[in-house]
Structure 1
């Protein structure tokens, strides 16, 4: 399976922060925002990853990750010259996806919590169609909402419905078999002129091939697309790391524990950051701490 991080968009909700810098390069506590979605793909054992961003911002990510070899990944890049919708990622990335299945994660979504890795594994193992996630919210009218049966087959998906059929929002993490490329090519722009991910999900739903994985109540899902979201995400990460001594989104640590890099490489990476708590933590991991 391959992975795509969609890190484009104009980020106008975060102006003036994003007038000259990609939203996904903004800091969330002690690391760039994009580290968090990248870490999710790494937890899925996905090593071939495409980052899609704007022509202006793509160079930032190239500087940040190069080709990914430092952490045992194969990272490539593609530009999306203007926001054309989430579904456009599969058109932009068709030559990258080729004959493989693919996971897509939005670059401004942060996930952390109980049994999350097991949920990812369940999604990967669904090779017959698509898997989306359901996250219980109190204000479903503000989200894309999924309705499902007792076997977790999706029954309907609606964008910001006035009368929601469930309280389960669909966060920005999706798993598809290879059919998604051809489905995306046939999607027509919505009233707002974008290729909607809901259109793709509805095609799988019509075929009876759209499964829903419910995220546990103990799982956190944070959309960082607003000032409040940025602040809340930073506070959340800080709290988990300081109070519980649990470290989230450390891509070098994940690479080491997955066997993508060895101890010597982790030490090398940690030394370049040794003046920071981030680097000191990586060195501690390398030394068995």
Structure 2
């Protein structure tokens, strides 16, 4: 696990520029995918791209234009009402059904994917799925903490030797990256580096760092070249904000899914109440 963590950190810091580009492309694709999923198709997106490149909003053949408008109406309905209709027949049937029973459309819109507009039924809910979604939400929230810590620190995250721990190195002190016990709360300062060899040996015992690593840390406090490297490393670590944002987004997705799964029970209860009320009025 430690080797995997070390490899990931090295990979991310070494290729931070490519990762920035990759995340920007991912955001664009996610936005297009979200619109595609909401609409149920990509007619409007492709039509707008075609118009920007070639020009011309309408088809010359009136029958093709009418069919495009038919598809656009379905797409627009799916976006506005968060549904997954395949035809205008489903939409008209849905409209008549909601008016007949006085169904709360907003409730059904909030559980997209679990309401079948063709059969006008809500799928059964699952408490296990709700708990799983909330558990994943908590896991991704916790996973977002470490990248956020790395990105926000005004110190470089470095590993001086393969068998030594990761450390924070700033202009005037060094500390251990992850502190699991009181023993890990050591600190190497510029003042300590100026003392005699006896203190250096004590630092080796306290930090589990080699003499060469401690000398490199002490040298970094006075070397202009090393300070520049530290500042460049701190700047490259900002890429970790992307990972923190990604994990928080995933946490939000699973939280939202958990809430949606919970609303299934409210939706089924609402429909049962509406059906009973309708039958009672039309006996």
Normalised TM-score (structure 1): 0.18
1 or 2, which has the higher strand percentage?
A: 1
Higher CA-based Rg: 2
Normalised TM-score (structure 2): 0.18
1 or 2, which has the higher helix percentage?
A: 2
